[in-house]
Amino acid sequence: MPNVRWTEEDVEFLKKHYMEMSVEELARHLGTTPSAVANKMRRLRLKKNVFWREEDIIERIRALRNAGESLKSTNVRKNYPALYSAACRHFGSWRDAVEEAGIDYEAIRRSL
């Protein structure tokens, strides 16, 4: 159930993490909808001008792998859309970005 009211803790979490997490990730964590998060960010004047560098993308891919996240493109596209888009823009494809991070994409693709 979405938040009806923003708590002080919710607002502090949003201010602390809005640059590193997607709106979808923030909404999941806060138990609300992406549109509620986007509206609150707009009211708080939190702008998300993210300029991804290739090394940031590679670091985030490795961090996801180390955290046990699936690096299959369908999972990343759904749960980390900003990372997925940036990787495709910088490297040409998600597969190429993963391989640039030193990870065997074929092994990921074959995993359950």
Q: Is the pLDDT of residue 4 over 60?
A: yes
Question: What pLDDT, on the 0 to 100 scale, is given for residue 5?
Answer: 86
pLDDT, tens digit, for every residue of 10-36? 999 999 888 878 888 899 999 999 999
- Quote the pTM value: 0.60
Residue 51 contacts residue 23 (beta carbons within 8 Å): no
pLDDT, tens digit, for every residue of 37-94? 999 999 999 987 668 899 999 999 999 999 999 999 999 998 888 899 999 999 999 9
Q: How far is CA 16 from CA 9, 32, 42, 59, 71, in A?
A: 10, 17, 15, 20, 25
Q: Is the pLDDT of residue 3 over 60?
A: no
